Structure formats: structure tokens, C-alpha cells
Structure 1
Amino acid sequence: MNQEKTISRQELTEFYEPLLKGYSESFKTKINTIENITKTVFNDANEVTIDQLKDFCHTSNDNFLKSMIDRLIGVREIIYCRENNLELKMLAVWRLISNSIRLIPSEFTISSIGSQGFLSIPLYKTDKPLEAFDFIRLHIWDDSLDKYMDLQKCEDFSIHSHTFFAKSWIITGQIINNRYEFDLNSSNSKHSFFEVVYNDSLNQVNQHSSKAVNKGKNAELIKVSEEIHYESGYYEIKPSKLHKSGHKNSPLCSATFFSFTGKDGLGKSFVIGPKEITESEINRKMNIDPIYLLDKIDKQL
């Protein structure tokens, strides 16, 4: 793996809260405090090697801590490769992240259907300040998820932009990424800009539902590229740029590690939808047990 070979007590402490945000609220009742974890992992040392951290996982009987440590090593590798423009060792990171989900009962994993039709599992989030925003998720596309969604709504509101720079690494399958521009002065506009309003939720990482509200700003959409990205590849999306993603691998599934970061500038997030629609609510199915999908990915790999 590419990341630094050692991790300090301070770095582990800094990762603790962002990693916790990738688990359910009930996970917090099971995991040790960061003070107890650092005492257990480091003893009297100020740093340990990644190999020592892995050895600790193999000998520990605490599956909640083992899950967090595996996720720490995997997420740290994603961030390190992104920020240093290095190739991500996909299989090694997949094994760490997959194991972090398998080690604990499914009720401790946040997994819900995103508005674009994929299963979203948050892994890490830090959001203060916005310029240091970092959010990493596992995305899985599979035909079995269709029953949880209104497919027409997903299609109607599939073209969108992000506030943050996004990068997506393909673990398996084939990911479609189409890019768009728009013309506000066109007499041939069939779409409008929509603002997405989220409901109040017990969890601040994945929401239960959202509402797209027409802002009365019409535009003609212009598709500028069609892309297909394959296993071990990646694609990037700049802030404010319109795109539409999906997968082209049925009946097999597709999966990616997806990251947002505020370190490369901020933009505007908006959704494009049919101009004749005033508003549309999207309900999201929460707490889908992802293990059968992890098994399916493992078979493909």
C-alpha cells in the first residue's frame, strides 16, 4: 500500500470522530473511547507501524474496534492516494473496507439508497470548515435495489452537480458518467434547476428523504460527453459541473469508492429536472443489509 508506514497517536485521534460518523448511533455505545483505544494500541509509544496495527486487529477480540481499525487503514489509503495522485490498490482497500462491514452486525452499518439509485455506505466524514470537508463512501449499484426506488423519479432527477470536488474509483463493474452543460437563454428549454431540501434525520450522514423544489430557472441541457469507466479506473468531477452516473453491468453489480473534498475549491450543488414538475419527494430505504452485495462483489473480483 502507498500510505505512510507509521501512524501516530495524534493521527489516530484525529481520525476517530470522522470514522464514527460512518457508523450508526448505536455503534457509539459499543466502541471504546479514543483515550482507551490509544492506550490499548500504543501503550507508551507515540506511533506504531501499519503492520503492527494490522497485527493488533488479528489478535483483538473486540470486533467493533477491529472494524474501526480496518476502516481507518482503508480510508487513510484512499485519502493518501487521492492527495498524492497515486494509484489506489483497489483489492487491498476493498478487503479492508468489506471486512470492516462484515465484522459487526448489520444494524451498526449505515446503508441507504441514494437519490441516484445506488446503495450508499458512509465510511468517513469531516466537515469543519468546508474548505477541509472530506466525505468518503462506498457506492454499490445492483438490480436488486430497484424494488426500493421509484425508478422514474431517479431518472427525472439524475443530472446534478456537487459543491465539492468528487473522485470515484471503480472497484468492480462498469460505471457510466455522462457530462452536461446548459443554456439559460434557449427557447428550447425542457428542464429547470431544482433545490434539494433534506428532512430532519436522526443521522446527519445519510438522510431518510429529500425533496426537489423547482426554482423556476429553465435551461436547455447539452450533453458534452459519454464515459464508461472500468474496474481499477477512476473519474473526477469538478465542483458545480453537471453529470449523471449509473452502471452498465447488469445482472452483475458495480461498486466504487467515492470521495468529496473541499480542498480543491467549492462550487454549487443543484439538480436538474423536468420543468413541468413543481416539486418531488424522494424517500430513501434505510438500513439495507449489504452483506449479500459484498458477497456478490467478492465473487466478481
Structure 2
Amino acid sequence: MNQNTNITDSEFKTFYEPLLKGYGEEFKDVIKSKNDICKLLFLDSKGISIEKLLSNIEKESDTYIKSMIYRLVGVREIIYCRENKQKLDVKSVWELISKSIKIIPKEYTISSIGSQGFLSIPLYKFDESLESFDFLRLHIWDDSLNEYIDLEKCENFSIHTHTFFAESWVIVGKIINNRFDYNINSENSNHSFFKVVYNSSLNEVNQHTSKAVNEKIDIELYQTSEELHLENGNYKIEAGKLHKSGHKNSPLPSATFFSFTGKNGLDKSIVIGPKHISESVINRKMIIDPTELLKKIDKQLL
């Protein structure tokens, strides 16, 4: 871990709600309140060291508190390394995050297929404002997920921009990140801008249906770079910049920790698609048990 500082009860309280948003709705019924957890784990006003906290939590019988503390330490480390431009020890963070998922019933984990074809598991979401927005997720690519997605739609609408600055850390596998640019209203236009509209969802963190609607702005699309990021690699995507992600590790999985933050500026989120399509609906299967995928990643890391 890059951090040796203590975690105080006040800091834990700032993490509590954003961490809670990374769990299924039912988790709120079984997890203790932040005040109760503080009374149990953060007795000293000066705080507790990470090492001591993890040692104490191993003796805790409440698996829901254990899950949240494992996730707290892992998420906190990702944010710290991102903000301070430090190298992230992805394996130690993986151990914490994966353990936080494994020890609780699968229905308490939000896991759905993203529009790009990977499994997305939210870990932390702070959304008081766009400028302070912070969202961390675990992304997993694996051939077993192909049965849940329309591969043609996925390919047609795979090039996109983000509202927020994005950063990704490769846990395992081989991640492709290709970048693109465009000429607007060119005679050679064969793509258009699409706006993505989400439905109302059972959980606000991972939507389960979205619709890409053609905005009738035609463009000539061209690729500007091709990147391959390996285990322990790291890459960044500025807000509003076109890119396309995937993996080249079949039949083995690939996985990343992924972050969005509004602290580095904001831009428009768009999707690029074939200009002859007026709209396309993407259904995302909710609650896919990630257990076997976590095991596959563990085996690959060994």
C-alpha cells in the first residue's frame, strides 16, 4: 500500500455512502449504520492504521462489515494513487476488492454487462456534483459473457467519449485501447453521432437498458492510435476524447479497475454508430454471478 496514514472515523463516514452505492439495494438492509461501524472499529479519534484495521476485520464475524472494509481500503488506495500519480499495486488491491465480493451473497453485488461487452461491477460512487463526481468500477472481459450480448450491436456502437476523465489499471490480461478522431459533414461520412438515453432502473448505479439515438450529425471517422496494455499497465482517457476498448486475451479473461472523475474537467458523452441506423436499443443482463470469473482471474494471477 502507498498509504501509511491512519483512517479516522470521520474519513470512514465520507466513504460510507459512496461505498454503499456499489452494493445491491438489499445490502442496505443488512449492513450496520456508519455510526455503529465507527463504534466497533474506529474507537480512537486519531484513527487506526490500515494494517491494524485489516487485522481487526479478519476477526470480525459480520461478513457485511468485512466486505465494506475490504472495499474501503482498496478503493481508498486507488483514489490515493490516482490523485498523487503513484503506481498502484493492482494485485494487493485486487485481493481486497475480490474478497469483498466473494464473501457476501451474490444478490448483494451489482453486476451487469456494459454496452461495450464487459462485466461491470461498481465499487464506489460519489455524485454530489459533476465537478466532484468520482466513480470506480471493476471491469471484466471474458468469452463466457458473449452469450448475454448482441455482438453486432456491441461492435457498431463501441466507439465513444466520456463526460468525465477516465483512468484504467490492468489487473490481468491484455487490454486494447484504440483512439479516434473525425471530420464533420465530410463527403466520406459513414458514421454519425448518437445520444444514449437510459431507462429508469432498479438501481441507479448500473442501468439495464439504454437506447442510442442518431443525432443526424454525419462524420468521417478515422483511427489515430492503437494501444495494447498488459498486466500492471495503466492508461488515461481525457473527457470528450473518442476511444474503443476491448481485450485480446481469449480464452482467458482480462480485468481492470476503472475510474471516472469530474476533477479533471468535463465534456460531452457521445457514441459513434453507422449513419444508416436511426436508433438501437441495448439490453443489459442484470445480476450476473461473477464468482467463476473471479476464480479465473485468481488462477491467472497465480
Q: TM-score under structure 1 normalisation?
A: 0.99
CA distance in 1, matches of 2:42, 2:76: 18
Count of residue correspondences: 301
CA distance in 1, matches of 2:295, 2:147: 20
Deviates more, 1:97-106 or 1:35-44: 35-44
CA distance in 1, matches of 2:185, 2:59: 64
Contact between 1:3 and 1:76, CA under 8 Å: does it hold in 2?
no
- How far does the alpha carbon of each residue in 1:237-295 deviate from its partner, in whole angstroms, 9 at most, with x for none? 00000000000000000000000000111111000000000000000011000010000
> Residue 47 of structure 1 corresponds to which residue in structure 2?
47
Q: Which runs of 5+ in 1 are unaligned?
A: none
CA distance in 2, matches of 1:25, 1:66: 18
- How far does the alpha carbon of each residue in 1:76-106 deviate from its partner, in whole angstroms, 9 at most, with x for none? 0000000000000011000000000001010
> Residue 110 of structure 2 corresponds to which residue in structure 1?
110
The Cα shift of 1:44 comes to 4.6
> Residue 246 of structure 2 corresponds to which residue in structure 1?
246
Establish whether residue 141 from structure 1 lines up as the match of residue 141 from structure 2. Answer: yes
CA distance in 2, matches of 1:114, 1:175: 16
SS in 2 for 1:272: strand
SS in 2 for 1:48: coil
- How far does the alpha carbon of each residue in 1:208-257 deviate from its partner, in whole angstroms, 9 at most, with x for none? 10000000000000100001000000110000000000000000000000
CA distance in 2, matches of 1:196, 1:236: 22
The Cα shift of 1:13 comes to 0.2
> Residue 200 of structure 2 corresponds to which residue in structure 1?
200
CA distance in 2, matches of 1:255, 1:5: 29
> Residue 211 of structure 1 corresponds to which residue in structure 2?
211
Contact between 2:176 and 2:227, CA under 8 Å: does it hold in 1?
yes
CA distance in 2, matches of 1:209, 1:45: 45
Off by >4 Å, runs of 4+ in structure 1:
none
Root mean square deviation of aligned Cα: 0.7
Establish whether residue 273 from structure 1 lines up as the match of residue 269 from structure 2. Answer: no
CA distance in 2, matches of 1:176, 1:265: 24
1:58-207, aligned counterparts within 5 Å? 58-207=58-207
Q: TM-score under structure 2 normalisation?
A: 0.99
> Residue 285 of structure 2 corresponds to which residue in structure 1?
285
Contact between 2:197 and 2:212, CA under 8 Å: does it hold in 1?
yes
Contact between 1:168 and 1:235, CA under 8 Å: does it hold in 2?
yes
CA distance in 2, matches of 1:208, 1:238: 26
- How far does the alpha carbon of each residue in 1:34-85 deviate from its partner, in whole angstroms, 9 at most, with x for none? 0101011122534111112101211100000000000000000000000000
Contact between 2:171 and 2:254, CA under 8 Å: does it hold in 1?
yes
CA distance in 2, matches of 1:53, 1:184: 54
Q: Which runs of 5+ in 2 are unaligned?
A: none
Contact between 1:112 and 1:206, CA under 8 Å: does it hold in 2?
yes
Contact between 2:173 and 2:231, CA under 8 Å: does it hold in 1?
yes
